[in-house]
Amino acid sequence: MNPAVDLCWEVEHLVGVGKNRARVRSVSAGGGGINVARDVLRFGGRATAVHTAGGEVGRRLDRLLDEEGVDHVAVGIDGETREALVLFEAGSRRSYHVVPPGPRLLAQEGRRCLDVLGRAAGGFSYVVASGSLPAGLPGDFYAAVARRVKEAGSRLVLDTSGPALRGALAEGVFLLRCNRKEAVGLLGREVRDFDDARAVNERVLAAGPTEIAVTALGGLGALCSTGQGHTELYAPPLPGEPLSDAGAGDSMVAALVVRLACGDDPVSACALGVATAAASMLTPSTEPFDRSVAQALRPEVRTRFQEGARTDRD
pLDDT in tens, 195-216: 999 999 999 999 888 999 999 9
Please tell me the distance from the alpha carbon of residue 95 to that of residue 97, in angstroms, as a whole number.
Answer: 7
Average pLDDT over every residue of 2-27:
93
* Gap between the Cα atoms of 156 and 128, Å rounded: 6
User: Alpha carbon of 21 to those of 9, 17, 18, 87, 89: distances in Å?
Assistant: 10, 12, 9, 12, 11
pLDDT of 308 over the 50 cut: no
For residue 41, what pLDDT is reported? 96
Mean of the pLDDT values across residues 260-277?
97
Question: How would residue 311 be classed by pLDDT, with cut points 50, 70 and 90?
Answer: very low
Q: What is the pLDDT of residue 95?
A: 85
pLDDT at 203: 92
Helix (H) or strand (E) holding 292: helix 291-297
Whole-angstrom CA distances from 255 to 193, 195, 258 are 23, 25, 5
Report the pLDDT value the prediction gives residue 314, as an integer from 0 to 100.
Answer: 40
DSSP H or E stretch at residue 249: helix 248-261
For the chain, count helices (H), then strands (E).
Answer: 10, 14
CA distances from 265 to 47, 203, 204, 260, 270 (A): 21, 22, 19, 7, 9
Kindly tell me if the per-residue pLDDT of 284 is higher than 80: no
What percentage of the chain reaches a pLDDT higher than 90? 75
User: Which uninterrupted H or E stretch holds 63?
Assistant: helix 55-68
pLDDT tens digits, 56-91: 999 999 999 999 999 999 999 999 999 999 999 999
Q: How far apart are CA 170 and CA 111, in angstroms?
A: 20
pLDDT in tens, 87-134: 999 998 888 889 999 999 999 999 999 999 999 998 899 999 998 899
Task: Please give the positions annotated as active site.
Answer: 250
pLDDT given for residue 160 in this prediction: 87
- Under 8 Å between Cβ of 140 and 166: no
Does 218 have pLDDT greater than 50? Answer: yes
Query: What Cα–Cα distance (Å) separates residue 287 from each residue in 100, 183, 230, 262, 284?
Result: 20, 26, 32, 25, 6
Q: Where are the domains of the chain?
A: 31-80+104-312
| 312 pLDDT higher than 70 | no
Which amino acid is residue 66, in one-letter code? D
Average pLDDT over residues 254-270: 97
Mean pLDDT of 157-170: 85
Q: Which helix (H) or strand (E) holds 97?
A: strand 94-98
Question: The CATH number of 31-80+104-312 is which of 3.50.50.60, 3.40.1190.20, 1.10.600.10, 3.40.30.10?
Answer: 3.40.1190.20
Residues of the chain by 3-state class (helix, strand, coil), percent to 5: 40, 25, 35
Mean residue pLDDT of the chain comes to: 92
pLDDT at 257 over 80: yes
CA distances from 114 to 22, 176, 252 (A): 40, 20, 25
Using 50, 70 and 90 to split pLDDT, how confident is the model at 306?
A: confident
Which pLDDT belongs to residue 241?
A: 85
State which amino acid sits at residue 234: Y
Pick the closest to residue 33 from 4, 8, 76 (CA basis).
4
Torsional class of 32: left (φ above 0), alpha (ψ -120 to 50), beta (otherwise) = alpha
Section 277-293 average pLDDT: 86
The per-residue pLDDT for range 29-47, each reduced to its tens digit, is 999 999 999 999 999 999 9
313 pLDDT band (50/70/90 cuts)? Answer: very low
Average pLDDT over residues 254-277: 97
**75 and 96 in contact (C-beta within 8 Å)?**
no
227-247 pLDDT, tens digit per residue, is 999 999 999 999 888 888 878
168 touches 142 (CB < 8 A): yes
Angle formed by the axes of helices 162-171 and 141-151, nearest 10°: 40
Check if the beta carbon of residue 254 is closer than 8 Å to that of residue 232: no
Helix (H) or strand (E) holding 268: helix 266-280
Q: pLDDT value at position 69?
A: 96
* pLDDT of the residue at 309: 32
**Nearest CA-CA partner of 164 in 126, 189, 190, 130:** 130
User: Over 80: is that where the pLDDT of 287 sits?
Assistant: no
How high is the pLDDT of residue 234?
Answer: 97
